[in-house]
Amino acid sequence: MRIATWNVNSITARLPRLLAWLQSSGTDVLCVQELKCAEASFPYKQLRELGYEAAVHGTGRWNGVAVLSRIGLEEVTRGLPGEPGYDGGTEPRAVAATCGPVRVWSVYVPNGRDVGHDHYDYKLHWFEALRAAVGEDAAGERPFAVLGDYNVAPTDDDVWDPALFEGLTHVTPAERAALAGLRDAGLADVVPRPLKYDRPYTYWDYRELGFPKNKGMRIDLVYANPPFTKAVGDAYVDREERKGKGASDHAPVVVDLDLDV
């Protein structure tokens, strides 16, 4: 089976590209982030026409997540148990579903904005809630993974110029320690090594020709338990989908699993 994660940066703006990519890529399960779309406005009909069910958690503002599946969609959970709120409410940043033989979370970790900002503290607390939420599945025998936009670059090799990020979010010791907490819970980064590119970045800013100059970051990650990791046959960043007019500023991360569906 083929499973992927993609921050589409508005599913409404990216819908034609999303539908075309689903058809051409052969993806069975796609975790989507940054919908910027309320559940009532989600394109269920267009996705059903391609054979995909959708578990959606969105309010129409700047967040929103979904799991799309053409191999079944059960045990849907919206939001993290005990997740922290921000600015007076909780945000739609996590949704889980069981799709055939695997269980997945699609997550959109808070950005953090600036070190010392309230949003930065919110980000660290949100990671704590995520770790608590995934512990049981991480330790289980069923293949399980948390896919999404983590807004953390795991190492200095995951940013195009570490010196430029000094003192900024996404690379601080506290954020990386929060990410390491998932490893302590039994999850491993399934795309930790150079694959088809020396540095498999997943995000490039729209500004200053970020993508043509390969000024990128690897912040879209797949963290999985041992049964999932053992089934990985291939993994890659689909850089082609970052090219051209109307692209998201993120590229899909694709994982192929040797599992029957």
- Give the pTM: 0.97
Q: Give just the sign of the alpha carbon dihedral 51, 20, 24, 77.
A: negative
Cα–Cα distance list, 80 to 75, 83, 105, 138 (Å): 14, 5, 10, 15
* 26 phi-psi bin (left φ>0, alpha ψ -120 to 50, beta other): left
Helix, coil or strand: residue 215: coil
**CA-based Rg of the chain, rounded to a whole angstrom?**
17
**pLDDT single digits (tens) 87-102:** 999 999 999 999 999 9
- Per-residue pLDDT band at 172 (split at 50, 70, 90): very high
Q: What is the DSSP letter of 240?
A: G
Are 205 and 228 in contact by the 8 Å Cβ rule? The answer is no
61-77 mean pLDDT? 96
Q: Where are the beta strands (DSSP E) in 59-157?
A: 65-69, 74-78, 94-99, 102-108, 144-149
Give the pLDDT band (50/70/90) at residue 124.
Answer: very high
What pLDDT is stored for residue 201 in this prediction? 95
Specify the pLDDT at position 192: 63
Instruction: Give the H/E segment covering residue 256.
Output: strand 253-257
Residue 135 CB partners (closer than 8 Å, separation 6+) = 185, 186
Token pair recorded at residue 76? 């849907």
Determine contact, residues 168/219, Cβ cutoff 8 Å.
no
- The mean pLDDT value for 101-126 works out to 97
> Residue range 214-238: average pLDDT?
96
Give the model's confidence band at 174: pLDDT under 50 very low, under 70 low, under 90 confident, else very high. very high
**Residue 205 in tokens:** 């800013």
Q: What is the pLDDT of residue 198?
A: 63
3-class DSSP state of 5 = strand
Distance CA 223, CA 23 (A): 25
- Residue-range domains of the chain with CATH: 2-257 (3.60.10.10)
Reading the block at residue 175, the tokens are 């954020």
Give the residues across from 30 on adjacent strands.
4, 68
For residue range 101-110, list pLDDT tens digits in order. 999 999 999 9
Residue pair 92/79 in contact by the 8 Å Cβ criterion: yes
Output the six-digit token pair for 32.
């989507």
The three-state secondary structure class of 110 is coil
Neighbours of 187 (CB within 10 A): 27
Residue 243's pLDDT band (cuts 50, 70, 90): very high
Residues in the chain: 261
